[in-house]
Amino acid sequence: MSGKFWIREGDSLPMIKSVIIDAQGAVVDLTNAVSVVLEMREPDVEGIYDTHTGAIPAPKTQGVVQYAWQTVDTTDNAGNYLGHWIVTWTGGGVQSFPTDSAFDIIIASASGYVNGYSPAAILEARQRSGEIGDTTYSDEQIADFLLARNGDTAAVAFDIWSYKASDAANLVDMDEAGSSRKFSALYKQCLEMARFWGEQSPEIIVITAQGRRGARTRDIVRP
């Protein structure tokens, strides 16, 4: 399984179902599988968040595994998780699928709020950060940025554009086969956006040729 699985907080449907594929892209015969568990982890957090005992429907040769959610599984658990299917084979061997990555399990907030931040705040932070079409960061990650910056969406935009500039700095300009990609221009554009939003934010101090700007403080205001 690859990609993203979505379910809304408090829902028990849709069922999560995958076809187990090996490294060569072939369907795995699960005839000798004893059991399967759906394992969920939080990104950037050590340890397992939760596990659920799944099922292997007949015929096992088709490599299908599934788990039927209970409402308690998703209630008050909105967030983004990394999923693996853990297969136990006859003889006690254990194997994880996929082996080289994970698939996304997204439990969408029933209220629309993420970690206390409204959909409007999340959207504004995304718009200012260029994260509408390019969704590098999940809503939970955006909310973490907002929490760290006291809800200041301009400061969040400064942070994300700065990260994008850092990523672009590791790329090089390329001219090949009649095409050209100027990553140095992307780097400069990201820096300019970071500078612009930093100058709008009371949370950020921006060093410029003219000196320090935006060096102010304010009370913490939660949405």
The CA dihedral of 144, 207, 166, 176, to the nearest 10 degrees, is: 140
pLDDT for residue 47: 92
Give yes or no: residues 104 and 128 share one domain. Answer: no
Side chain identity at residue 155, one-letter code: A
Give yes or no: residues 92 and 188 share one domain. Answer: no
pLDDT tens-digit series, residues 160-219: 999 999 888 877 555 555 554 566 788 899 999 999 999 999 888 654 444 444 434 334
What percent of the chain has a predicted confidence (pLDDT) above 90? Answer: 57
Number of folded domains that form the chain: 2
Give yes or no: residues 15 and 79 share one domain. Answer: yes
Q: What is the mean pLDDT of residues 119-130?
A: 93
Give yes or no: residues 208 and 132 share one domain. Answer: yes
Which CATH number does the domain housing residue 58 bear?
2.60.40.3350
220 lies in some domain: no
pTM over 0.75: no
